[in-house]
Amino acid sequence: MIKTTIQWLSVLFELFAATGSGILAFVGISEFVGSGGLGFDGLRSKAHLGATVVALALVVFGGLLYVARLGNPTQVMAITRNVSSGSPASWEFLIYLLVLVCAVICLLVLRREGRLGGVLSALCILLALAMGCSTGYYHMAMIGTPAWHSPAIPLGFTAGALLVSGFIYLAVAGCGLEKGLEKDAKKSSEEDSKASTSKIMVWILAVLAIATTAAALFFGASASFGQDALLYWIAAPAVGGVSFAVAIVMLKCARGVSRRWAFIGASFSLIGALAFRASLWLVDSTIPTLFRG
């Protein structure tokens, strides 16, 4: 059995970039779900601005890790030139640049307008899906690693990153709902509306948790980890699957969102997402080619 060393710079870049874009997606989802989703408009604007700052920080940090992974900044231009050839690495980097530009635009728009608007919200959601899928396809398209030629990888990468993003979004921006409800406790009908809106967000997390766990189970059943098998099954499907239970607990909460449970969900889903990505380098494989095309 031939194993490669875990490429932590690659693992962390993919996770941070996809998580940052995912937070932007949840800001966009909140715009579509309803203006009452996070309490008063003023609180919602501040909450979304804070979430966008966190998203931009993660995306920028991921870019620094990407440059460090290349070892030479001049390699960036070489990657961009290979986009026309269909290189997975080039498309991954191109989508990352679009996410970075989108994050900056979102920050400026939120500071000026207080909301993103339908077009920008839709763009955030689409880029988050593209970022997750591109990082997964980058591995799926590598030669010399048969275990990586699995649809579970882009599914697990995308759903896993969005799951972490959703919990982080609720942890950072969810305070708007709690404060809004405290100020508006006398208006029970509006409170019920806000709680039901927030529960839509948590239902999305529950679905993502199921998809993430299913992808981890499918990939684990089709790959050979040798002596690392027990570590994989504990870290990826088991620990990552706890986030589904957290989502169910949050759905049982009267107001549908809790920052404490959001932090707990973010922690477990982050461990699961990180384990899933790192485990790819532990399967039976030959040394993969970093760039194709």
Q: For 131-150, give one letter per residue: b (16+ CB within 10 A) or e.
A: bbbbbbbbbbbbeebebbeb
User: What's residue 189's pLDDT?
Assistant: 46
**What value does the mean pLDDT take over residues 126-132?**
93
Looking at residue 56, its pLDDT comes to 95
Closest to 245 in 3D by CA, of 217, 275, 272: 272
Per-residue confidence (pLDDT) for residue 225, from 0 to 100: 63
For residue range 202-246, list pLDDT tens digits in order: 888 889 988 888 888 888 776 666 666 666 777 767 777 788 788
Q: Indicate yes or no: pTM above 0.85.
A: no
Q: Which residues contact 172 (CB under 8 A, 6 or more apart)?
A: 23, 47, 50, 51, 54
**CATH homologous superfamily of domain 8-282?**
Formate dehydrogenase/DMSO reductase domain (1.20.1630.10)
Cα–Cα distance, 111 to 219 (Å, whole number):
42
Listed residue (97, 130, 115, 127) closest to 52, CA to CA = 115
Tokens of 28: 């966009």
pLDDT at 281: 78
Mention every residue, 6+ apart, whose C-beta is less than 8 A from residue 41.
Answer: 35, 114
- The highest-confidence range among 23-27, 111-115, 229-233, 278-282, by mean pLDDT, is 23-27
**Share above pLDDT 70 across residues of the chain, in percent, rounded to a whole number:** 70
